[in-house]
Amino acid sequence: MEVSHRHLIAVLLLCSFATGCGLNSSILQKGGNGRKGVLLNYSCGAHPCDAIDPSKPTIVITHGWNPLPNKIHTTFGSSGARAIQRRCGDRYNLLSWDWNAVRVSPFKHAPITIGRSQGRMLATALRARGVSPQNTHMIAHSMGTIAIAQAAVCMSDLGAMAQLTLLDPPTKFHEEIFCKLGATRHALVVENYWAPGISGLGRHVNYRGVHNYRVQGKHPVRGCVDLSLSNHVNTMLWYYGTMKCSSIPNGFQNSVLLGHCEQY
């Protein structure tokens, strides 16, 4: 396919995202927010820049690439934190890495380069807050999975992360995440939730130590036209649902830190 044709397809897909039926939901909202990599504290009673409580375990949530940073933003981090608060009370440090305004070219190596850069920034921010990897569960969607895998590498001198949860990491990133960054070498538990069908971007992986879970979307074909309803985005929405509701199997129910919630 010629480069001009690839750019045309990319533009059409971005337009479909901007007008999608899945916008103004729990995880996607219209309007940009200007954030290019900031760690926000959504713990009970905390202000966004407050320090963590070192006596509590930490959950870090981040989103993936935002193709239209001036038009939309992902609210997975803040919404997920609120869902966990309502369900578990003040049991966790709840942090969100927000990089909605970062512009990413989908071509060549730009996604991996920027994903790694965001991961290094995230690790620096986590160190500054005094986060302990051994007591931390990081959750990310799409390109954000590169960021948390990189962050785990950068913080490995402090110990392995308790858990990395990867939500539909695109297949083209698997070698980077599982081989070059060695996700299973830097986290005690690694999960791969993947979306099947033509509007999903991930797949089952065969790397040792990775727990695979298939997440079926509701609009597999329509999601090709309206990316906000794609199986890929639905994986993030589904996981948010598991944060809210304990009756949905897997997802947040598989967190190694869940025991702290059950004490609530």
Q: How confident is the model at residue 106 (pLDDT cuts 50, 70, 90)?
A: confident
Q: Name the one residue in this structure whose structure tokens are 């509007």.
A: 199
DSSP SS3 for 191:
strand
Average pLDDT, the chain: 90
Q: How far apart are CA 15 and CA 227, in angstroms?
A: 9
* CA angle in degrees (0–180, nearest 5) for 37-227-173: 55
Q: In three state form, how does the secondary structure of 105-157 look?
A: CCCCCHHHHHHHHHHHHHHHHHHHHCCCHHHEEEEEECCHHHHHHHHHHHCHH
CATH number where 189 lies: 3.40.50
pLDDT tens track for 7-35: 433 443 444 444 455 567 899 999 999 99
Helix axes 110-129, 144-154, angle to 10 degrees: 50
What is the bridge-based pairing of β-strands 72-74 and 163-167?
A: unpaired
What DSSP designation does 86 have?
Answer: H
pLDDT tens track for 64-82: 999 999 999 999 999 999 9
Across 53-69, average pLDDT: 96
Say yes or no to pLDDT of 114 above 70: yes
Lowest mean pLDDT among 24-33, 83-92, 168-177: 24-33
Is 129 in contact with 39 (CB distance < 8 Å)? Answer: yes
Counted domains in the chain:
1
What is the bridge-based pairing of β-strands 210-214 and 190-194?
A: parallel
Q: Report the pLDDT value the prediction gives residue 221, as an integer from 0 to 100.
A: 61
pTM score: 0.91
171 is in which domain, residue-wise? 3-262
Q: Report the pLDDT value the prediction gives residue 222, as an integer from 0 to 100.
A: 62
Say yes or no to pLDDT of 145 above 90: yes
Q: Report the pLDDT value the prediction gives residue 5, as an integer from 0 to 100.
A: 39
